[in-house]
Amino acid sequence: MSGTIGFVLVGQSGRDDVLPVVRALLGPGVEVAAKGALDGLSPAELARMAPVPGEHPVVTRLDDGSHVVVSKPALVPRIERCLTELRDASVKVAALMCTGTFPPFAVPEGLLLLRGQQVVDNGVRAACPAGGKVGVLVPLPEQEAFSGGKFRDMGFDVVTAHANPYGSLDDVRAAAAAFRDRDVVVLHCMGYNGDHKRVVREACGRPTLQANALMARLAAEVAGA
């Protein structure tokens, strides 16, 4: 599929928040092949994917607009299946649309995979001076310690806050007030869109990185779009 970029969502592929951003940035002439790690699952099957105590959770969106919290290890075999399906459809470049760090998983030979966590985290590294002040917005309070620790290990002075991207923009605005002295703010979830970015910038006045936009732009560059 020449001119096609595969996008693997950790939720369901019919969701209406991520792909419109991707398509707008890719422009005409680029076909999007979307796969969702949770496609086709029943409510009972989704419930069985909930994280156990101590696991780092992932919050993601379903086709009906609702959101679920799932386990990263439970997602791995389903991500692998999505990648295999893309490779079998002759897709050459794919993007994993999640900023989380996953256990090791197999990538089919012949498929170049852009990993959201690496793209976004290294985007922060490129945009912020060494030892600089980074604001990290995550969806869930239990994600703050892990994400904050990761960026501190990268040498940054970090402030974290949380606001569910599938909730109220007022919550995002309130959370962003913590970032007024930051050099750079990163919206560390693919569910945050341009509205979230606008609200964050209005609230704190700082440069803000939108994860799904970073991924779309890099995917287009790598694919030659």
For residue range 6-15, list pLDDT tens digits in order.
999 999 998 8
Same domain, 136 and 153: yes
Structure tokens at 153: 């290990």
Sign of the CA dihedral running 109, 10, 145, 203: positive
Same domain, 93 and 112: yes
The pLDDT of residue 33 is 94
Same domain, 18 and 59: yes
**Ranges under pLDDT 70 in the chain:** 1-2, 225
Structure tokens at 185: 């703010």
Same domain, 201 and 113: no
Q: Tell me, what amino acid is at 29?
A: G
Of 215, 144, 203, 212, residue with least CA distance to 174: 203
Same domain, 141 and 204: yes
The pLDDT of residue 1 is 43
CATH code, 163: 3.40.50.1860
Domain, as residue range, for 105: 4-117+213-223
Same domain, 196 and 217: no
The pLDDT of residue 24 is 85
Alpha-carbon Rg for the chain in angstroms: 17
Structure tokens at 183: 């050099």
pTM for the full predicted model: 0.90
In the block, tokens 């913590």 appear at 178
Instruction: Please give the tally of structural domains in the chain.
Output: 2
Angle made by CA atoms 73, 77, 78, in degrees to the nearest 5: 105
Query: What's the length of the chain?
Result: 225
Model pLDDT for residues 5-55, shown as the tens digit of each residue: 999 999 999 887 888 888 888 877 788 999 999 999 999 999 999 998 888
Neighbours of 64 (CB within 10 A): 9
Same domain, 178 and 199: yes
Same domain, 112 and 198: no
In the block, tokens 């794919």 appear at 94
